[in-house]
């Protein structure tokens, strides 16, 4: 069953402790609730050039555990991370898609190999500092949005199995970030004012292009307008995503207006980046196909007839009305009530009914409201 802080006294809980303020406060709350809490710090990337803060985070984790008087374990999952997350990350960029490795990191690492390791340590329950909630009804666990809508992380947790969620405690699910900071300061936790981590650890603060070019050869090519006119050269399709405005290097053309240019598509076959100006209809899609769905528990029964729900195509997006139908090949056909801007193949669409996260799938193809004349987009629905 799912658990909250009212029923974990004397339960052995293994907490994923990153060294940040969120997991530090989660540790305090678990111990304050009477849990027999132990911390487990993961190293998921072996950095050789100093951009990642893994060493600093480990030291912060040690300080937190010393302050709270809880045991700290340390495990290296760098090999598993490379095999299960980073290889996917590279494969998606090779195909011209825009990946979201955080979803796989949760499924494969934090609620995969981490969960197994926690059981080896004798853990009865797993805990993390994610902003999310769980509840059990009729013997089935449900994943619910966090109280703090600005920090809600259910988007990134949608692919975690129901079995894993049923064994997980989210101490911060009912709190707002400001309250978490306040608790950390009141308890004198050394990381109470530590800056929140952003992005992916293995990239850190380093230039993204520099990092990616270490693993994938850049293939420069033409930047084309929807009519097929070449207006510049790109550094490699992997460096761009739909809706991107910055870094195109094509501003100030005499034969164009003052409106900004945006990436509206990628033609992988021709190695061409398609751009348009202003509020281009090429960025709008009212239907998409999603593949490899992950449902929290059983798939909704109404999928064949058409599931009416809401969805997000990116983190922190407001919920969008849609209808979801299952195709014969188990892919999902999604139609939105309002056109969506800059849906990116490779990203995830996550489905909700009210506060409940139902699951999600990878965006595979789009049905656009307009099509570039210069090429048939590789991402278009046929």
30/157 same-domain check: yes
**H helix intervals, 69-134:** 78-81, 87-94, 101-104, 114-120
The domain spanning residue 318 has which CATH number? 2.40.30.10
pLDDT at 376: 43
Give the pLDDT score at 328: 84
Asked, for residue 57, whether it belongs to a domain, the answer is yes
Whether residues 271 and 303 share a domain: the answer is no
Residue with tokens 């949760």: 106
Alpha carbon distances (Å) from 22 to 153, 181, 354: 13, 8, 25
- Phi then psi for residue 57, to 5 deg, are -65, -40
Residues with Cβ within 8 Å of 305's Cβ and at least 6 positions away in sequence, in order, are: 325
Query: Domain containing 28: what range?
Result: 12-186
Let me know if residue 313 belongs to a domain.
Answer: yes
**Domain identity same for 176 and 249:** no
- The verdict on 48 and 133 lying in the same domain is yes
- Output DSSP code: residue 327: -
Same domain, 111 and 27: yes
Pairing of the two strands 356-368 and 284-295: antiparallel
Asked whether residue 98 falls in the same domain as residue 225, the answer is no
Do 37 and 148 lie in one domain? The reply is yes
Identify the CA nearest to 367 among candidates 343, 332, 347.
Answer: 343
- Does any domain span residue 196? no
Residue 265 shares a structural domain with residue 286: no
CA-based nearest residue to 345, from 364, 358, 371, 367: 364
Between CA 34 and CA 36 the distance in angstroms is: 7
CB atoms within 10 A of CB 66: 11
C-alpha 363/C-alpha 285 separation (Å) is: 12
**Backbone phi, psi, residue 192, to 5°:** -60, -30
Q: Which two tokens stand for residue 343?
A: 């849906």
Displacement of CA 151 from its chain's centroid (Å):
12
| Residue 22 within any structural domain of the chain | yes
Hunting for tokens 């796989």 — which residue is that? Answer: 104
CATH, residue 267:
2.30.30.280
39 shares a domain with 139: yes
Which ranges constitute the DSSP H helices of the chain? 21-32, 54-68, 78-81, 87-94, 101-104, 114-120, 154-157, 162-166, 177-186, 208-215
Within 10 angstroms of residue 193's Cβ, the number of other Cβ atoms is: 10
Tokens describing residue 18: 């990153």
The distance of Cα 366 from the centroid of its chain, to the nearest Å, equals 20
- List the pLDDT tens digit at each of the 382 positions of the chain: 456 788 899 999 999 999 999 999 999 999 999 999 999 999 998 876 666 677 889 999 999 999 999 999 999 999 999 999 999 999 999 999 999 999 999 999 999 999 999 999 999 999 999 999 999 888 899 999 999 999 999 999 999 999 999 999 999 999 999 999 999 999 999 999 998 877 676 666 667 888 899 999 989 999 999 999 999 999 999 999 999 999 898 866 666 677 899 999 999 999 999 999 998 999 999 999 999 999 999 999 999 999 999 999 999 999 999 999 999 889 999 999 999 999 999 999 999 999 999 999 999 999 886 665 544 454 555 4
Residue 355, domain member (yes or no): yes
- Is 166 part of a structural domain of the chain? yes
CATH of the domain at 62: 3.40.50.620
Q: Are residues 158 and 302 in the same domain?
A: no
Cα separation, 246 vs 262, whole angstroms: 8
Looking at the structure of the chain, the number of domains it has is 3
Catalytically active residues, by annotation: 105, 201
* Residues whose CB falls within 8 Å of the CB of residue 257, separated by 6 or more in sequence, listed in order: 277, 278
For 348, other C-beta atoms within 10 Å of its C-beta total: 26
pLDDT value at residue 382: 41
* CA 147/CA 366 separation, integer angstroms: 32
- 170 inside domain: yes
Residue 2: inside a domain, yes or no?
no
Kindly state whether residues 266 and 330 are assigned to the same domain.
no
Cβ neighbours of residue 100 under 8 Å, at least 6 residues apart? 156, 346, 347, 348
Residue 12, class by beta-carbon neighbours within 10 Å (0-12 exposed, 13-18 middle, 19+ buried)? Answer: middle
Question: How high is the pLDDT of residue 46?
Answer: 80
Dihedral angle at the C-alpha atoms of 351, 101, 179, 115, nearest 10 degrees? 90
Q: 37 and 168, same structural domain?
A: yes
């Amino acid at each position: 069953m799912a658990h909250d802080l009212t029923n974990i006294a004397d339960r052995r809980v293994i907490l994923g402790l990153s060294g940040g303020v969120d997991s530090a406060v989660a540790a305090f709350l678990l111990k304050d609730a009477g849990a027999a809490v132990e911390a487990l710090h993961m190293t998921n990337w072996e950095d050789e050039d100093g951009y990642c803060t893994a060493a600093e985070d480990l030291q912060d984790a040690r300080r937190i555990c010393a302050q709270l008087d809880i045991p700290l374990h340390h495990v290296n999952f760098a090999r598993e991370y490379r095999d299960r997350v980073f290889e996917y990350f590279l494969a998606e960029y090779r195909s011209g898609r825009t990946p979201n490795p955080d979803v796989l990191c949760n499924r494969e690492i934090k609620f995969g190999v981490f969960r197994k390791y926690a059981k080896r340590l004798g853990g009865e329950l797993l805990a993390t500092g994610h902003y999310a909630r769980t509840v059990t009804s009729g013997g089935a666990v449900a994943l619910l949005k966090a109280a703090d809508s600005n920090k809600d992380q259910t988007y990134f947790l949608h692919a975690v199995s129901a079995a894993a969620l049923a064994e997980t405690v989210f101490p911060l699910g009912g709190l707002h970030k400001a309250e978490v900071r306040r608790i950390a300061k009141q308890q004198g936790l050394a990381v109470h004012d530590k800056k929140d981590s952003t992005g992916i650890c293995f990239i850190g603060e380093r230039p993204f292009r520099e990092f990616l070019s270490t693993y994938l050869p850049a293939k420069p090519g033409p930047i084309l307008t929807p009519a097929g006119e070449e207006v510049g050269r790109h550094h490699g399709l992997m460096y761009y995503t739909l809706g991107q405005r910055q870094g195109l290097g094509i501003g100030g053309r005499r034969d164009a207006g003052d409106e900004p240019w945006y990436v509206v598509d990628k033609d992988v076959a021709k190695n061409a980046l398609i751009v348009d100006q202003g509020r281009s209809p090429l960025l709008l899609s009212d239907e998409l196909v999603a593949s490899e769905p992950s449902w929290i528990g059983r798939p909704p029964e109404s999928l064949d007839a058409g599931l009416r729900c809401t969805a997000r195509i990116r983190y922190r997006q407001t919920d969008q009305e849609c209808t979801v139908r299952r195709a014969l090949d188990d892919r999902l056909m999604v139609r939105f009530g309002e056109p969506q801007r800059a849906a990116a193949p490779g990203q995830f669409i996550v489905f909700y009914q009210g506060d409940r996260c139902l699951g999600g799938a990878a965006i595979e193809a789009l049905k656009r409201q307009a099509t570039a004349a210069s090429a048939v987009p590789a991402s278009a629905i046929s």
